[in-house]
Structure 1
Amino acid sequence: MLPYAGAHFLEACSLCSKPLGHNTDIYMYRGNNPFCSQECRQEQIEIDEAKERRWKVAKKSNNKTNVRTGTVAVA
């Protein structure tokens, strides 16, 4: 989920869109993604890891289906 429209990237949590306070801790992930809590940050990490695992499985599956076996006869 993206922060609410028009927000500066350090004004809202990248996951839940909760406004970030000026004198509160901000938890960063992947360079420029701010989070309001360690829990939101961890949830995003788990979402990204799950996407990566699904992508790797899909890629491996696609590689298997593209393998051609059999005999080719040329006349």
Structure 2
Amino acid sequence: MQRRLNDVTGWVLLAVAVVLHRTVASKAATERLQRQRNAALRGAFGRGVQVPELAARLGLSEGWVRQVLNGKRPPEVEEAA
């Protein structure tokens, strides 16, 4: 039962990450929302959602997602793609 709860929680966190990714506005808001999105991404990954699925749902490269999961700041050019 715990595994199923973790799976559902992971998918919900991934949905939150997608919404935050798509609703960025000003520079300050962008940075704040990206920090929240990245935290949601790390949470989804920690609950079993794999990197290819995270990257596909966000429309980002797997390398970018791995950098976020490792706590590194991804390059600006790749993030805009």
TM-score range, shorter chain: 0.3 to 0.5
More strand by percentage = 1
Structure 1 or 2, whichever has the larger Rg, is: 1
Larger RCO: Structure 1 or Structure 2 (Cα < 8 Å, ≥ 6 residues apart)?
A: 2
